[in-house]
Amino acid sequence: MTKSRNILALLAATTCLAGPAAAQDDDTLKIGLIFTLSGPAAVLGEMGRDGFLLAAEQIGEIGGMKTEIVVMDDEQKPDIAANKARELVERDQVDIVVGPIFSNILGAIVKPVTDSGTILISPNAGPSNLAGADCSRHLFVTSYQNDQMHEVMGAYAQKQGFDNVFLLAPNYQAGKDSLAGFRHSYQGDVAGEIFTQLGQLDYSAELAQIAAMQPDAVFAFMPGGMGVNLVKQYRQAGLETIPFLSAFTVDESTLPAQQDAALGFFGGSNWAPDLDAPGNAEFVAAYEEKFGKVPAVYAMQAYDAAYLIDGALREAGGTADKDALIAALESAPFNSVRGDFSFGPNHYPVQDFYLTKVVQREDGKFATSVVEKIFDDYADNYVGECQMN
């Protein structure tokens, strides 16, 4: 069976290797993927997994090496994620771990992976502490620092002259980072601020408060199923006259369920399917053809992670010299489908950010579309706190 077919089999089965690790040839590259693949947020992890495996199939042998990919489901549970991360580095002896989606899961797996000397590449989660004081030379992030997408919306709200914005996010690290990011670029007043339970699906109480306060706008960070329900209930409550600003709440992972309810709602992002960047249209077309859906940033960032690994391994001459591989990763030797991309000294990206808007395409599918660039070559606010060791 060819390596490409091996990847397709993994994609179809969403499986992980069982039993003791087999002896590994020096020219074999072993990559562990750890994503949320079950529960209400599974669509996010599936996009990350699928984006990575699509790139792996296109590349063939990643880094010119025979490639094995092990797929794990973290179940969105930190304790389970930590155990599976240990399995990947201790039992399966992977060279590189790619994942996860959620920041609390990254917080659970970062030490088990990096303490072993294994390279960890996060294609989505980007908590502030790991961009700053807790940065690691073995950790790279191909997405963003959590605050940044939300800073886009803060800057937009400031530009629009909104004086009174209601803030809403789930109560975990990325939720806290989201509101910190919004506040970083927004200097107006806050009508109200609520941290909801992670996974909450009924927002009637919060929407009643918004209706009573009548703020200039609402800013929400509600990924996955949380965002689906919030947007539908927002429309049902008749609040669409209050501008709805968000990040990860109206995107290609939620739009198939939200559809008309999300039309015209704004988001902040580092990418959109219609972004004019070399290779992006080809990536979107290949993803849609293979999976029958429009990719979200979760897919794009994992797709980029695979090409980053490929370029770095070719530059470093394989996995044998870990220092050389880390140096190669730092140089970001690949062409991101989002356009401009480089790593800052904390191994977080320096990139552009955009205001996006939900549209319905001519083929009837819903997607986000670039409205305008908000930040150019933008680094995160925590890089100065990173003392890489």
Note the pLDDT tens digit of each residue in 112-144.
999 999 999 999 999 999 999 999 999 999 999
Assess whether the region 3-144+276-347 and the region 147-269+353-381 belong to the same CATH fold.
yes
Helix (H) or strand (E) holding 309: helix 297-316
Q: What's the rounded Cα separation, in Å, for the pair 255 and 249?
A: 9
pTM of the model: 0.91
What is the 3-state composition of the chain as percent helix, strand, coil, each rounded to the nearest 5?
A: 40, 20, 40
Domain boundaries, the chain: 3-144+276-347, 147-269+353-381
Tokens of 76: 């969105």
- Cα distances from 75 to residues 41, 72, 80, 359, in angstroms, run 9, 9, 7, 32
Answer yes or no: are the C-beta atoms of 375 and 352 closer than 8 Å. yes
In this predicted structure, the answer to whether residue 9 has a pLDDT above a threshold of 50 is: no
3-state secondary structure of 305: helix
Residue 20 has pLDDT above 50, yes or no: no
Q: The domain 3-144+276-347: what is its CATH number? A: 3.40.50.2300
Residue 377: CA count within 13 A, CB half-sphere: 2
Return d(Cα 131, Cα 380) in angstroms, integer: 8
- The 10s digit of each residue's pLDDT in 265-305 is 999 999 999 999 999 999 999 999 999 999 999 999 999 99
Kindly report the length of the chain: 389
The answer to whether the Cα torsion of 279, 285, 290, 295 is positive or negative is positive
The DSSP 8-state label assigned to residue 136 in this structure reads -
Q: How far apart are CA 383 and CA 51, in angstroms?
A: 28
pLDDT at 25 over 80: no
Paired with 343 in beta bridges are: 349
CATH homologous superfamily for the domain 147-269+353-381: Response regulator (3.40.50.2300)
**pLDDT of the residue at 275:** 98
Asked if 221 contacts 179 with a C-beta cutoff of 8 angstroms, the reply is: yes
pLDDT tens digits, one per residue of 157-200: 999 999 999 999 999 888 998 999 999 999 999 999 999 999 89
- Express each pLDDT in 253-264 by its tens digit: 999 999 999 999
Q: Which residue has the higher pLDDT, 351 or 224?
A: 351
Asked if residue 10 has pLDDT above 80, the reply is no
pLDDT of residue 26: 64
pLDDT at 262: 97
Question: Is residue 307 over pLDDT 80?
Answer: yes
Pairing relationship of beta strands 189-196 and 164-170 according to DSSP bridges: parallel
pLDDT category of residue 8 using cuts at 50, 70 and 90: very low
- pLDDT tens-digit map of 41-97: 899 999 999 999 999 999 999 999 999 999 999 999 999 999 999 999 999 999 999
